[in-house]
């Protein structure tokens, strides 16, 4: 490996380098400026914009970085990764803005340096998770994301529910990553390589012990399933989402999940693929019945998420269960195992990211003023605060998936992919699940608009900048619900995973 | 003296199961962390075993990363336990129950 080659590889990881430099800069500025911490969010935003600029450049790329004699490449730069990195940066920009406005975060002003540094650590980990093609890098980036989020979940140390959330998170996270690591060690043992491309060519050419291979695959899936909060590994989600500061909850529910799904899709697509037929269906190495596996997983995930959300009184916790249910819908796209299914996942995820950020932003604005996230305390909010009420209504309707919002488009493409793959029963189950979801979203809307407020509960003003950001999040949902061609085109362009 | 590979693998599988059982049955947060470390170390043992058996150094390289990660995890975990202990004066995970269902 010569120096020129190394330099060329560095050009392929520009977004990661931008984030890493911003991280170092944040630490230094925090040290130098002492008590003046007003600049930190702006440095963070500048770093994110630089990363976004480099990510746009990656849409045209299709190559591997850090290839050597013994390794077929550690990092992939391709449009698929660029899309998911874009989602992460988009979410981070909003989360940094939320953090400026959040009372919870303002209260621990003297530790803002750590806060933004840890957020950047998380972003860096997610970037590597999205583009990794080597088991070592996958494991380390997963842990980088996890460690930063453990600390951030317990950031406001004095609040009891914060530290409880952090402890639960660190225990679940530690166990599932330990299980994943054991799976990786077995996979390394039977293939003798940690590179996904090499493992793929090995399992296609030679006969390897089936049972051991399935075991290691399932163990690795535990780690990924915990990141996307799929059903049997979801237990941490409601507790952490409720206990963590709202800004971090919003970040976990969008960015962390994006990275998890990107890793899942890439891992399945690169490691187990045999060929892609002309209709875009993936032929995987038949170790287990992949379709049944994903169908089973998605059905239990969405059913459990939707039914548990029914009796939640805390809006944050309800949104946590709803995010589990959404992970279930996204796994439906996995079950199709075709390019069409992946395009549906990408569309769904773009919509879900905007909607969820908006919903958490409204919850944060209200919690800043009334100090509660309980649905019963929202009674009559729609009358005294029509702007907040209507935006929350838009977000919740989009999460349900009703027209004319973008959530409907996401679900539509998912169902089309299912019907095209002749999985009608599954489409019907998903539809019935949406009906269940309607009940708990509408319950919030009922409290907002059908009850009269007690006197003087909601006498506050939404500042201009907050209103602007809210419009920035709510407007795309309506616009993409009607004019969705650009989103579909973007998704089709992003569906280029390197290899096969 | 040549020790067959099965010996190492069985030992590491046993360590892994001990770790999982410890996490599931123990109630003290610190003991749970020790069990998680045991799980990580069992994976390390597997990696080193396969690495020397196949004659490929990548596995041993991986172990160094895992050891670093395990140290970081212990640091973060213990810090969180201390933060919780200051608020609640307990390390029993059964009593850490304000967030449920």
Q: Of A36-40, A240-244, A361-365, which range is least confident?
A: A36-40
Nearest chain A Cα distance for residue B1, angstroms: 22
A174 to B33: CB separation less than 8 angstroms, yes or no: yes
Residue B66 domain flag: yes
Given a contact cutoff of 8 angstroms between Cβ atoms, the answer to whether B77 and A170 are in contact is: yes
Instruction: With both helix axes pointing from N to C terminus, report the angle between A406-420 and A315-336 in degrees, rounded to the nearest 10.
Output: 30
Domains of chain A, residue spans: 302-500
Residue B49 pLDDT? 93
**What pLDDT, in 10s, does the model give residues A450-484?**
887 766 667 778 888 999 999 999 999 999 988 88
**What pLDDT, in 10s, does the model give residues A102-128?**
888 888 888 888 899 999 999 999 999
Taking CB atoms and an 8 Å cutoff, what residues of chain B touch A135? 62
Residue B20 domain flag: yes
Residue B53 domain flag: yes
Taking CB atoms and an 8 Å cutoff, what residues of chain B touch A141? none
Question: Quick check: A500 pLDDT over 60?
Answer: no
Residue B89 domain flag: yes
Q: What is the mean pLDDT of residues A208-232?
A: 88
Instruction: With both helix axes pointing from N to C terminus, report the angle between B58-88 and B29-54 in degrees, rounded to the nearest 10.
Output: 180
Q: How far apart are CA A161 and CA A154, in angstroms?
A: 8
Residue A117: closest CA among A24, A189, A221: A24
CATH of the domain at B22: 1.10.287.3510
Residue B42 domain flag: yes
List, in sequence order, every residue forming a beta bridge with A271; answer none if it has no partner: none
> CA-CA-CA-CA torsion for A443, A445, A446, A450, nearest 10 degrees?
170
Band of the pLDDT at A448, cuts 50, 70, 90? confident
Q: What is the mean pLDDT of residues A346-360?
A: 94
Positions of chain B with pLDDT lower than 70, given as ranges: 1, 101
Q: Which helix (H) or strand (E) holds A340?
A: helix A339-370
Q: How far apart are CA A16 and CA B89, in angstroms?
A: 41
Total tally of structural domains belonging to chain B: 1
Counted across chains A and B, CB pairs separated by less than 8 A come out at: 127
Please report, rounded to a whole number, the percentage of residues in chain A having pLDDT higher than 90.
Answer: 52
Residue B43 domain flag: yes
Band of the pLDDT at A346, cuts 50, 70, 90? very high
Q: What is the mean pLDDT of residues A353-381?
A: 88
Given a contact cutoff of 8 angstroms between Cβ atoms, the answer to whether A483 and A405 are in contact is: no
Secondary structure (DSSP) of A2-64: -HHHHHHHHHHTHHHHHHHHHHHHHHHHHHHHTT--TTHHHHHHHHHHHHHHHHHHHTT--EE
- Closest residue in chain B to residue A194, using alpha carbons only: B58
> CA-CA-CA-CA torsion for A19, A23, A25, A30, nearest 10 degrees?
150
Cis bond upstream, residue A432 (ω within 30): no
Say which DSSP state A209 is in: -
**What pLDDT, in 10s, does the model give residues A281-334?**
888 777 778 888 899 999 999 999 999 999 888 899 999 999 999 999 999 988
Q: Which helix (H) or strand (E) holds A283?
A: strand A282-284
Residue A58 pLDDT? 86
Letter string b/e over residues A407-431, b meaning 16 or more CB atoms within 10 A of that residue's CB: bbbbbbbbbebbebbebeebbebbe
Please report, rounded to a whole number, the percentage of residues in chain A having pLDDT higher than 70.
Answer: 98
- Closest residue in chain A to residue B79, using alpha carbons only: A151
Nearest chain B Cα distance for residue A18, angstroms: 24
Residue A110 pLDDT? 82
Question: Quick check: A1 pLDDT over 60?
Answer: no
Query: What is the rounded average pLDDT for all residues in chain A?
Result: 89
Residue B99 domain flag: no
A168 to B99: CB separation less than 8 angstroms, yes or no: yes
Q: How far apart are CA A306 and CA A313, in angstroms?
A: 14
Residue B54 domain flag: yes
């Amino acid at each position: 490996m010569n120096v020129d080659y190394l330099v060329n590889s560095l050009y392929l990881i520009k977004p990661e380098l931008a984030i890493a430099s911003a991280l170092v800069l944040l630490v230094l500025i925090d040290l130098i400026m002492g008590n003046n911490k007003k600049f930190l969010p702006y440095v963070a935003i500048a770093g994110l914009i630089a990363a976004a600029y480099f990510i746009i450049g990656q849409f045209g790329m299709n190559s591997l970085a850090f290839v050597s004699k013994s390794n077929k490449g550690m990092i992939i730069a391709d449009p698929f990764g660029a899309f998911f990195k874009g989602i992460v940066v988009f979410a981070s920009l909003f989360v940094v803005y939320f953090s400026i406005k959040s009372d919870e975060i303002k209260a621990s002003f003297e530790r803002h340096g750590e806060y933004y540094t840890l957020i950047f650590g998380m972003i860096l980990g997610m970037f590597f998770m999205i583009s990794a093609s080597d088991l070592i890098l996958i494991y380390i980036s997963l842990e980088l994301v996890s460690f930063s989020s453990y600390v951030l979940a317990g950031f406001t140390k004095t609040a009891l529910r914060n530290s409880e959330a952090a402890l639960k998170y660190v225990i679940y996270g530690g166990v599932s990553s330990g299980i994943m690591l054991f799976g990786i060690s077995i996979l390394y043992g039977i293939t003798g390589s940690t590179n996904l491309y090499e493992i793929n060519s090995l399992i296609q050419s030679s006969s390897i012990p089936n049972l051991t291979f399935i075991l290691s695959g399932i163990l690795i899936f535990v780690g990924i399933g915990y990141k996307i909060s799929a059903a049997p590994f979801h237990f941490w989600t409601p507790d952490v989402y409720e206990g963590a500061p709202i800004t971090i909850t919003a970040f976990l529910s969008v960015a962390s999940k994006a990275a998890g799904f990107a890793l899942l899709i890439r891992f399945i697509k690169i490691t187990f693929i045999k060929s892609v037929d002309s209709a875009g269906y993936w032929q995987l190495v038949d170790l287990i019945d992949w379709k049944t596996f994903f169908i089973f997983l998605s059905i239990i995930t969405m059913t459990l998420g939707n039914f548990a959300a029914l009796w939640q009184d805390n809006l944050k916790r309800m949104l946590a269960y709803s995010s589990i249910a959404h992970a279930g819908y996204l796994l439906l796209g996995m079950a199709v195992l075709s390019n069409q299914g992946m395009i549906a996942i990408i569309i769904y995820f773009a919509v879900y990211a905007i909607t969820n950020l908006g919903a958490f932003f409204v919850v944060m604005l209200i919690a800043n003023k009334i100090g509660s996230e309980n649905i019963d305390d929202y009674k009559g909010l729609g009358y005294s605060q029509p702007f907040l009420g209507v935006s929350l209504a838009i977000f919740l309707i989009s999460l349900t998936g009703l027209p004319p919002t973008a959530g409907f488009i996401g679900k539509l493409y998912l169902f089309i992919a299912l019907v095209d793959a002749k999985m009608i029963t599954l489409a019907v189950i998903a539809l019935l699940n949406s009906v269940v979801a309607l009940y708990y979203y509408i319950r919030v809307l009922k409290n907002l608009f059908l009850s009269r407020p007690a006197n003087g509960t909601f006498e506050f003003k939404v500042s201009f900048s907050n209103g602007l950001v809210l419009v920035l999040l709510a407007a795309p949902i309506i616009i993409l619900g009607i004019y969705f061609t650009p989103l579909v085109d973007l998704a089709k362009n992003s569906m280029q995973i390197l290899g096969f | 003296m040549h020790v067959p590979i099965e010996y190492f693998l069985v030992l590491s599988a046993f360590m892994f199961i001990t770790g999982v059982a410890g996490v599931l049955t123990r109630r003290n947060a610190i003991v749970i962390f020790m069990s998680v470390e045991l799980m990580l170390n069992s994976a390390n043992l597997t990696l080193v075993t396969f690495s020397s058996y196949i004659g490929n150094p990548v596995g041993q390289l991986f172990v160094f990363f895992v050891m670093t990660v395990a140290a970081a995890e212990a640091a973060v975990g213990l810090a969180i336990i201390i933060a919780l202990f200051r608020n609640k004066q307990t390390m029993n995970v059964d009593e850490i129950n304000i967030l449920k269902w």
